[in-house]
């Protein structure tokens, strides 16, 4: 007997409403065709050595979602807000700045199970449906997919701005083996003449729509323990961004009244956010205790100590 499929349009509407019910503030649909327009830009980006500190980014496959998974036809892209108005890095006098995205639980752990459950429920409705969940770690141009799905545009700081919803949100992608009608992509960016993020970046890592990871503070505080160049090390010490960095988003006018994260998920400050810098823990056991169940656990205690040493001097 042939397998019965639901009407694709009502299936798509159901998928979107389930994604929203799972905590995504926005969800859109994009085709998984290669990003032909990005190919030259990608090539230039890698030729300039921008990927050197991020060896997991593969220029040969990044432009094509089907290089990651050949069955991919449609991408459901979700935007999951995380910032809270009361979570302001460095608000307590003397404290260091820890990026907003690290204040709560590890987002991989939050988004992946939600998308996996959505896939399982979808497979019940569409019997031979296959899917792949991608949150951050897959070689996939998530922000470009989000733009294609109509969620927003890549600002000059390169992050996805969901219009008035701002940019304080994670992206999660569910690749599906079925072709569903795509949403209208956003064809234009809305940064206009603004250059606030380029000017606010403590290290000069940004030029319009392009970031140099070898100068971004997030690279040195999260991704690698490699020694930053002197100028970046100076900016790290003076800006006091000790884990991640929000400087380019804090100044963005689109973040004036953003979509805020759910308060029950993204809690208030821990001692790591309020202690004076000199009193912050350096011992591994203390670090592990204070970072339990938070995204900060991804930073190894040795790396944390190195960063503290770089900011405070290694006394």
| Cα 269 from Cα 247, distance rounded (Å) | 19
Residue partners of 12: CB distance under 8 A and separation at least 6: 29, 180, 181
Map residues 108-147 to x or -, x wherever contact with ligand SF4 holds by CB under 6 A. ----------------------------------------
| Cα 234 from Cα 301, distance rounded (Å) | 22
Q: Using CB distances below 5 to 8 A depending on partner kind, what does residue 83 bind out of ligand B12, ligand SF4, none?
A: none
By beta-carbon proximity to ligand SF4, the closer residue of 74 and 167 is: 167
Query: Distance of CA 281 to CAs 101, 301, 309, Å?
Result: 20, 10, 12
Q: Which residue is nearest to ligand SF4 (CB)?
A: 155
Residue of 74, 144, 147, 203 interacting with ligand SF4 (CB under 6 A)? 203
Tell whether residue 216 is a contact of ligand SF4 (CB under 6 A): yes
Whether 64 is a known active-site residue: answer no
Only one of the segments 84-92, 213-221, 272-280, 286-294 lies at the binding site for ligand SF4 (rule: CB under 6 A); that segment is 213-221
Radius of gyration of the chain (CA): 20
Instruction: Find, among 58, 74, 78, 56, the residue nearest to 66 by Cα.
Output: 74
Residue of 73, 194, 200, 209 interacting with ligand B12 (CB under 6 A)? 209
Q: Which of 106, 128, 136, 207 is catalytic?
A: 136
Q: Using CB distances below 5 to 8 A depending on partner kind, what does residue 203 bind out of ligand SF4, ligand B12, none?
A: ligand SF4
Q: In this structure, what token pair is assigned to residue 187?
A: 């064809």
Q: Using CB distances below 5 to 8 A depending on partner kind, what does residue 251 bind out of ligand B12, ligand SF4, none?
A: ligand SF4
Q: In this structure, what token pair is assigned to residue 129?
A: 């449906």
Residue of 94, 253, 263, 276 interacting with ligand SF4 (CB under 6 A)? 253
Tell whether residue 211 is a contact of ligand SF4 (CB under 6 A): yes
Only one of the segments 15-23, 88-96, 125-133, 216-224 lies at the binding site for ligand B12 (rule: CB under 6 A); that segment is 216-224
CA angle (154 as vertex; 153, 158 as ends), nearest 5: 170
Tell whether residue 251 is a contact of ligand SF4 (CB under 6 A): yes
Q: Which of residues 79-98 bind ligand B12 (CB under 6 A)?
A: none
Contact of 168 with 261, CB cutoff 8 Å:
yes
Neighbour-count burial for 56-92, b at 16+ CB within 10 Å, e otherwise: ebeeeebbbbeebbeebbbbbbbbbbbbbeebebbee
Q: In this structure, what token pair is assigned to residue 257?
A: 């009244």
Tell whether residue 248 is a contact of ligand B12 (CB under 6 A): yes
Catalytic positions? 136
Residues that bind ligand SF4 (CB under 6 A): 155-157, 191, 194-197, 201-203, 205-206, 211, 216-218, 245, 247-248, 251-254
């Amino acid at each position: 007997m042939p397998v019965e499929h639901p009407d694709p349009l009502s299936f798509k509407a159901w998928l979107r409403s389930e994604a929203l019910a799972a905590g995504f503030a926005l969800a859109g649909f994009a085709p998984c065709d290669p990003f032909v327009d990005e190919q030259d830009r990608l090539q230039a980006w890698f030729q300039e050595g921008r990927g050197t500190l991020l060896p997991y980014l593969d220029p040969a496959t990044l432009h094509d979602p089907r290089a990651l998974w050949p069955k991919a036809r449609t991408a459901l892209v979700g935007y999951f807000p995380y910032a809270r108005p009361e979570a302001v890095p460095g608000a307590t006098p003397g404290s260091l700045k820890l990026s907003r995205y690290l204040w709560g639980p590890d987002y991989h752990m939050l988004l992946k199970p939600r998308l996996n459950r959505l896939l399982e429920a979808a497979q019940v409705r569409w019997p031979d449906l296959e899917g792949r969940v991608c949150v951050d770690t897959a070689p996939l141009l998530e922000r470009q997919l989000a733009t294609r799905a109509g969620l927003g545009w890549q600002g000059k700081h390169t992050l996805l701005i969901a219009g008035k919803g701002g940019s304080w949100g994670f992206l999660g992608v569910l690749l599906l083996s079925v072709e569903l009608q795509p949403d209208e992509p956003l064809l234009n960016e809305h940064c206009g003449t603004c250059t606030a993020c380029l000017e606010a970046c403590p290290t000069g890592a940004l030029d319009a729509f392009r970031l140099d990871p070898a100068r971004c503070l997030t690279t040195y505080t999260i991704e690698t323990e490699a020694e930053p160049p002197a100028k970046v090390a100076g900016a790290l010490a003076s800006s006091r961004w000790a884990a991640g960095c929000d400087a380019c988003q804090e100044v963005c006018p689109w973040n004036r009244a953003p979509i805020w994260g759910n308060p029950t998920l993204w809690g208030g400050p821990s001692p790591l956010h309020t202690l004076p810098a000199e009193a912050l823990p350096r011992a591994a056991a203390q670090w592990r205790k204070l970072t339990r169940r938070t995204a900060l656990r991804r930073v190894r205690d040795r790396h944390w100590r190195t960063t503290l040493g770089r900011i405070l001097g290694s006394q």
